[in-house]
Structure 1
Amino acid sequence: MRLDRSNRHGLIAGATGTGKTISLQGLAEGFSRAGVPTFMADVKGDLAGIAMPGSPTHKLHDPFTKRAGKIGYDDYAYEDFPVQFWDLFGKQGHPVRTTVSEMGPLLLARLMDLNDTQEGVLTIAFHLADEEGLLLLDLDDLQAMLGEVGSRASELRNDYGNVSSASVGAIQRKILQLRSQGGDHFFGEPALNLDDFIAVDDSGKGVVNVLAADQLMQSPRLYSTFLLWLLSELFEELPEVGDPDKPKLVFFFDEAHLLFDDAPKALVEKVEQVVRLIRSKGVGVFFVTQNPIDIPDDVAGQLGNRVQHALRAFTPRDEKAVKSAAETFRENPEIDVKEVITELKVGEALVSILDEDGAPTPVERVLMKPPRARAGILSTGERAAIIASDAIGARYDERLDRESADEILEARGEAKAKAAAEAEAREAEEEAREKREKEEARRSRSSRSRRSSSPVDKVIRSAERTIVNKIGRQIGNAILRGILGSMSGGKAARATSSTSKRKRKTSKKSSKPDWNKLK
């Protein structure tokens, strides 16, 4: 394979047990020896052995030695390669983290399997956080931001559209599911620095970055979304380099079918765009999968270097895969690809690579070069020693928790609660003041009443009450008559008027007061 054509991407395909992992390891070793860093996900744990040299006591020693002699690999010798181990859970390697803001709403929606409406609400949360300068670092920040969006739904409706409480609640539940899958380990700081991926050791070998993915594979959506995020970060962060003499990094995407299973069309289009454009950043991407038809046509069309191990035509889908794989190779008159592809032995493959002009070479049936490093797992002690002695050190070991959306929104809530409490206290104080003033006024009137309680004053007040009551009754009767008159008609009014006259004649006789009694 030409180094200057390795950034045109590639495909390693084949049924289980046909040699895909050994081919992947052999390619990674070749890139490392050429000074090209690589990244690979160790799904089964057997790629970790690339950190240790092979051994004559290994069960694959004799087959590898025989294969090397058969293909004329005269300088075949055991060798180890510089490795950095990574692990989202921080158990079998350095922790890998990113922030919620860096991942963005599109990948998060894919990660949490949101529908279109829920993805729209999530996008609103991101936009509002950007507008108000709120950092979304971890899942606590995202939950707090969604709560803020829900509480301000009526305010946001005019600018962003309807935000239903049902959608907010559904996303909150998805976040809880993500936490149960280990999402808390992935989101936070310090975030991964891509410069730590693209490195060479003192001897000039490219560093092999191995992601421990055996536990991660229990959450396939988290696994595929993480690798896609990493690929997009490389695309966003790396500068344009055109067509370099050799890649800056080669990215092996194992179990690639997980990326495209149930993926929405918009996401597949994004993947195709990244794969098409990232080559100009000096990054080569190799998809590793069992069945070549797992890769969408728009993406598969970008993969210039192909290694096809054996396929089994047991089902109609398998037959379709064999036919599809055969049609993707440049024809070789000496090889019936459709027939040979089902006859390949372990370690054999059909190979087509790009030549110096960028054109695919005719397909050839070949034996794959055996790896120099150990083809198998590492012991716990070997892995720990490599992690402790690599160039990363303890840079990512301690988790950081700086002020972000969660803390800011909590402080805002406390400030609002404090302001509401102060307003309530002021209102209560005002009510108490008004009550005191009324009580003082009542006491003042009572005091004046006690001061004017002499016998003469009492006689005068009594006379005043008598006169006022008499006048009041007359006025009341007049008002009552007026009202009833207007309701009952003129007859009732006249009868009432005559009665009033008789009373007035009678009252004239005793209108003179008895001053002796009054005295």
Structure 2
Amino acid sequence: MLKAINLEEGTVFVGGGGEGYHSPQTLLLKYANRHGLIAGATGTGKTVTLQTLAESFSLAGVPVFLADVKGDLAGLSQIGGGDAKLAASFQSRAETIGCEMEYQAFPVTFWDVWGEEGHPVRTTPTEMGPLLLSRLMGLTDAQEGVLNIAFRAADEQGLALLDLKDLQSMLVWVGQNAKELSLKYGNVSTASVGAIQRSLLVLENEGGQLLFGEPALALADLIRTDGAGRGMINILAAERMMNAPTLYATFLLWLMSELFEQLPEVGDPDKPKIAFFFDEAHLLFNNASPALIAKIEQVARLIRSKGVSVWFISQNPADLPDQVLSQLGNRVQHALRAFTAKDQKALRMAAENYRPNPAFDTAAAIQHVGTGEAVTSFLEPKGVPGIVERTLIRPPYARLGTITDAERAAILAASPMAAKYDQTIDRDSAYEILARRAQSGSAMGTSADGTGQTGDASAGQGEFNRGRRYEPAGHSSATTSATKGSTQSATRGRQSDSIITTFGKSLARQAGAEAGRMLRGALGTFLRGK
């Protein structure tokens, strides 16, 4: 019997087979950072393949991050073999492919943007940046330009954008100072600012205010091992996020970008630092601009040298752009159905992505493999693509399926991440600073940026505060009334000053003109006399 955990050092056992199959099929950890693809029609076994690969990475000491879009990957936290019928099927499969079943639970940390099914996972607008935020909100080029200006102005003003209300407040400030900012950065239209604010409101209604905040997720808390040296499996509860697919895709793209930007260059390590599984990968590319696709391709190409293994999971390889698909050296292709001419074309294209095997027709194999079977190709030594093989995928060691609320609660309570992430922190940032500037600016009869504009800016900030139902410390209706009163008095005072100043300037201009005429007359008389 072949024991999966006792294979050659640096090797992951994926599966094998009996008659007509090549046995065994292994993934070389040294080349796992050349990325991978798991594809196949619904119900063909993609999720089980994802689970077994996650288990194998964990056993090799490689941390894993994956999104649980259907709720059935949480079983990784529980020991398998409890279902007698399923266990008998798994045992038969194990005997066929030549491995022993060693049922066990794996170290798991649950994460959830909403903080319900896992520890809250957050980032800040500053960390996500204007490009991904524009993608998240579906902004036009002009609106994206205004958002870039808002971020630049926040940097220059020393205003930290840590949550959604910080960004909303900053956009109010940009709208109030559009004239000055337009002279410096280019056109800032209030229509674009309003469109961005409406998009932020939609994002807020979808739960975006929970995604943005502190404490922000630290990558070091994903790249961990347990006491036995097994890699931590980080599971993002994504069932609810799938109702907001753009939020889901943008968040995972941000996380992948953060890995790319923060991890040091390591070349080709003996094993990855972390394995990243992107389920329902087609959502990443739906309605994506060419610039965004280029960024994704760049990250996929260059993140390899950071020791990150990225796996895309989708129904059809055609869901991924060619420039991204070309970066995926390790492939597990489950069955594709070809009911239409379009399906048959996609099947032929999928088959052409593999190094042919003279023993069988690749397209026919892809169409006819059963559930839990696949055609596979893994990189061989020196990074050479392996010949395509028909493979029976190894059964999982952990539970296959969901877990109970009590089991999830017990794991969350025992997690060391609870003390760090379960409580939200609201630091002094752009919202609070601009609110204070607006109050002090109103009392002095100046705008929030001190440019000497009228009190309209502070009034707009007050409307923002009431609309968002956030009140600065000590802010009340009485304070608002007093502020309005002082603003009106200051405005009337400036109007009176303006009348006196204008009258004085008019008298000065008249006196100057009269003096000029007298001087010109005297000079003319003098010259004529000459």
1:391 is displaced (CA, Å) by 2.9
Q: 1:242 to 1:425 in 2, by over 3 A?
A: closer
Describe the superposition over 1:420-440 as per-residue Cα deviations: whole angstroms up to 9, x where unpaired.
238946986999xxxxxxxxx
- The share of aligned pairs that are identical, in percent, is 58
- Segments of 5+ residues of structure 2 without an aligned counterpart are 1-26, 446-485, 497-530
SS in 2 for 1:60: helix
SS in 2 for 1:61: helix
Give the one of 140, 163, 168 matched to 1:115. Answer: 140
Match of 1:355 in 2: 380
Higher Cα radius of gyration: 1
Corresponding position: 1:398 with 2:423: yes
Q: 1:414 to 1:200 in 2, by over 3 A?
A: same
Corresponding position: 1:30 with 2:56: yes
Match of 1:175 in 2: 200
Equivalent-residue separation in structure 2 for 1:259 and 1:210 (angstroms): 19
Task: Please give the residue correspondences for 1:34-113 in structure 2 after superposition, counting only pairs within 5 Å.
Answer: 34-57=60-83, 59-73=85-99, 75-113=100-138
Tell me which amino acid in the other structure corresponds to 1:190: P
Equivalent-residue separation in structure 2 for 1:88 and 1:258 (angstroms): 18
Give the one of 170, 173, 187 matched to 1:145. Answer: 170
Match of 1:379 in 2: 404
Corresponding position: 1:339 with 2:364: yes
Corresponding position: 1:154 with 2:179: yes
Match of 1:327 in 2: 352
Tell me which amino acid in the other structure corresponds to 2:36: G
Tell me which amino acid in the other structure corresponds to 1:106: L
Match of 2:313 in 1: 288
Match of 1:462 in 2: none
Equivalent-residue separation in structure 2 for 1:355 and 1:196 (angstroms): 32
Describe the superposition over 1:285-344 as per-residue Cα deviations: whole angstroms up to 9, x where unpaired.
000000110010000000000000000001233212211110000011112011111101
Q: 1:426 to 1:81 in 2, by over 3 A?
A: closer
Please give the TM-score of this superposition, normalised by the length of structure 1: 0.81
Give the one of 259, 265, 277 matched to 1:234. Answer: 259
Describe the superposition over 1:340-370 as per-residue Cα deviations: whole angstroms up to 9, x where unpaired.
1110100110000001110111000010000
Q: 1:51 to 1:314 in 2, by over 3 A?
A: same
Q: 1:82 to 1:154 in 2, by over 3 A?
A: same
Tell me which amino acid in the other structure corresponds to 2:93: R
Equivalent-residue separation in structure 1 for 2:488 and 2:244 (angstroms): 50
Q: 1:415 to 1:20 in 2, by over 3 A?
A: same
Describe the superposition over 1:80-113 as per-residue Cα deviations: whole angstroms up to 9, x where unpaired.
1000000000001000000000000000000001
Equivalent-residue separation in structure 2 for 1:430 and 1:395 (angstroms): 55
Equivalent-residue separation in structure 2 for 1:219 and 1:425 (angstroms): 48
Equivalent-residue separation in structure 2 for 1:84 and 1:379 (angstroms): 15
Equivalent-residue separation in structure 1 for 2:81 and 2:413 (angstroms): 23
Tell me which amino acid in the other structure corresponds to 2:55: E
| Contact 2:82/2:399 (8 A) holds in 1 | no
Equivalent-residue separation in structure 1 for 2:490 and 2:384 (angstroms): 81
Equivalent-residue separation in structure 1 for 2:93 and 2:425 (angstroms): 50
Task: Please give the residue correspondences for 1:467-506 in structure 2 after superposition, counting only pairs within 5 Å.
Answer: none
Q: Which range is displaced more, 125-134 or 301-310?
A: 125-134
- Segments of 5+ residues of structure 1 without an aligned counterpart are 432-519
Tell me which amino acid in the other structure corresponds to 2:295: K
Match of 2:271 in 1: 246
Give the one of 334, 337, 342 matched to 1:312. Answer: 337
Describe the superposition over 1:88-139 as per-residue Cα deviations: whole angstroms up to 9, x where unpaired.
0000100000000000000000000111111111111011111111101111
Tell me which amino acid in the other structure corresponds to 2:83: T
Equivalent-residue separation in structure 2 for 1:317 and 1:263 (angstroms): 23
| Contact 2:162/2:213 (8 A) holds in 1 | yes
Q: Which range is displaced more, 117-126 or 61-70?
A: 61-70
Q: 1:280 to 1:430 in 2, by over 3 A?
A: closer
1:58 is displaced (CA, Å) by 5.0
Give the one of 123, 126, 132 matched to 2:151. Answer: 126
Describe the superposition over 1:405-426 as per-residue Cα deviations: whole angstroms up to 9, x where unpaired.
1111111111110002389469
1:62 is displaced (CA, Å) by 2.1
Corresponding position: 1:14 with 2:40: yes
Give the one of 252, 274, 286 matched to 1:261. Answer: 286
Match of 2:226 in 1: 201
Q: 1:427 to 1:336 in 2, by over 3 A?
A: closer
Match of 2:213 in 1: 188
1:69 is displaced (CA, Å) by 0.8
Equivalent-residue separation in structure 2 for 1:335 and 1:247 (angstroms): 33
Match of 2:480 in 1: none
| Contact 2:78/2:106 (8 A) holds in 1 | yes
Match of 1:210 in 2: 235
Matched length:
431
Aligned-residue CA RMSD (Å): 1.7
Equivalent-residue separation in structure 2 for 1:62 and 1:17 (angstroms): 20
Tell me which amino acid in the other structure corresponds to 1:25: Q
Tell me which amino acid in the other structure corresponds to 2:354: F
Equivalent-residue separation in structure 1 for 2:239 and 2:217 (angstroms): 20
